[in-house]
Structure 1
Amino acid sequence: MTISPFALLLLLGTLQGFILASLLWFTRSSPQLPNRLLAVLIGLFAIASLNMVALEGGFYEAYPRIRFVMDLLPVIMAMPIGPLTWFYVRSMLEPGFRLGRNERWHFLPVLLDWVPALICWTFLIGLATHVFVRSDLKGWGDIIDQYDMYVDIPRWLSISVYVLLARNVLIRYQPAGRGPEVVQQRLKLAWLRQFLTGLQIFQVVWLLFLIPYVLPGLRPDWMGEMNWYLIYVPMAVLIYWFGLKGYLHARLSALTERKKATTTLPAETVDKAAGLLKKAMEVDQLYTDPDLTLEKLMHHTHLDQKTVSHVLNQHLDKSFNAFVNGYRIEAVKQRLLDSASSHLTITGIGFECGFNSQATFQRAFKQFTGVSPSAYLAQQTSVSVKKSAQV
């Protein structure tokens, strides 16, 4: 068993990917979700790269039983890469983002990656029950080869669509806060732009390979010699780049959090400030001001920026925008079900509760509740009707 220079490069990239994915998974930073999403994404790339090393390096020929086991397990999965990319970007930019039921539905197309393994299991079961014979193996293998050729089309489309969705999140994101907080957010945006640009470049390379792969008549002679290295060498570069840059960014975030944690305030000061902030929202209803800023909140509560930022970030675990929008969303939820507001549109209620644009209102509402305002109203109306029917 020999290994070519290209295969060696893939092997090094694979090992680097597994190491960096493990470091990302176990990095202690809050929130952990972005790091773990990126770790899974890099892990999927690394597993695919390792499989190619084993295939081209003759490992499977030397150990056919391992190849047999690999054929029965759906370890090579590309369909989750798109959703993982989108959710990674959202989890980096949306403090309240969680992988809820609606988000998990996006992973359903992974079934396309499982089809070859299911075909293998079907043949084995048929062989064990004497429905098939060993001579049928070649025909079933041809089916898998044909499937593997064309399933790359929906895989490529899926990743491309989700990268565009992630890019749209970046375009709509507006940094909030001031000083060091804004600098950190801009560094985060710069990394995410690089991350998505890297994926888009990889998609272009993949497409240039995919067209002649699916249409053999367009395939040049030199392409047969290079085989899948045209895809997997750029993938090895992505593994190393994403893993290293992602890990360094995660470490920087963790160090920033520790630095914030060292800035402590007396418990009495924290309790007093938290009470004033709560009164400003619940009693004085400052959240209804569409132009509310941190400076206005400081002026109203007679608190300095250090105290407000510390209480919000360290004790309430919220940014200024998340703190204010939380009260706005709760007010919207109440007024949607209040008959006194029936003359207003949903957007009108959002404006009266402090939002200054329909897009911001829709995005914030879905971020906090997981559904759009109209879907929430429909759900609550349905529940009320059912309760009335029971009575």
Structure 2
Amino acid sequence: MTRARAHDVVLTHPDGRPLADTEVAISQLTHAFGFGSTGFELVDLANGQDADGSAQALADLWLDVFNTATLPFYWRQFEPERGRPDTERLLAAARWFAERGVRVKGHPLAWHTIAPTWLQPLSTDEVGAAVRARIQRDVTTFSGLVDTWDVINEVVIMPVFANEAALEGDVGPNALSRFCRERGRIATVRMVFDEARAADPRATLLINDFNLGTAYECLIEGLLEARIPIDAIGLQSHMHQGYWGEERVLDVCDRFARYGLPLHWTETTLVSGDLMPAEIEDLNDYQPASWPSTPEGEARQAEELERHYRTLTSHPAVEAITYWGLPDAGAWLGAPAGLVRLDGTPKPGYDTLKRLIRDEWWVAPTPARTDASGHLTLTGWPGEYRVASAGTEQIVVIT
């Protein structure tokens, strides 16, 4: 299946006469599909910090492939001291991407795992008030720059998540887990979605989870029955133990597509080194002393990336795919899951994605000719296109 669509275009002179039998140039301006990656690695560059030029080199690779950036709003890191959020740095990063024609997404607004420690002494009511205030402040501040949010992350496990004394000196139960346990998942999700919707009615709001089983399905059913305004379903796929295969990926798509909402594959990784042992249940438990990228692993990663992206883009419910980190440097769990090696050179997987997205799925500048009535047929994926000839130009949107 291809997402390319034919669109009949009629070109006219400024006075309304058909632009008949005329050579024109077609070029694609934007892609409606979200081909994304994290923008975490470029926040410093956007704030003028790049002493050795390596960040700019990485940015050049990033911009040659992707059109959607996810920026980090992990609350503990964003606001380690109450009332002193890291707003200006992320505003600079969001502007940097937007100026380059990149759509920006924020991740996440509410997540128990990296909640600020200053929440812990608060009462349940006070925790809820702090969460609402955080969402109102940040969604409002970034409105017009960040148009998509992972509003709440991994809520399936949220009320039963135990991290007492486990993270950065935590001394008690996680405050968001406590809130969710006492108020319930549906009430918690309603609170954060209502607050985000009020702060920016135009934003695309996601629920996001790594649990792609029946627990997540049941939660979504309950949320929709409660008429909570979810715009899209986020699906994580950190495949550190190997590619899931086309059958499983399509099964996940089909199961979640039945709710009638767009699907965003929000966190995708494939490793280019040894695979994590299959018996590991919690990916966080695998902590090898060294986890290098290998030539054999890089070849496998490139092949699997092509299979995975072709499979996802073949499903009509999928609207976005975010690869979770361009470089190996700083990759989640230290895995060789990036598309750029530690020395800054691209892996075969990078070349594969660039070929698919920019060569195969993007319309290069193309000559065409109108007929006697000024008609021509433009074929391409949904997005914006410029059709131009001497003295006239028309922007065509394929939906």
- What TM-score comes out, normalization by structure 2 length? 0.23
Who wins on radius of gyration, i.e. which is larger? 1
- Greater helix proportion: 1
More strand by share: 2
After TM superposition, the score normalised by the length of structure 1 is 0.23
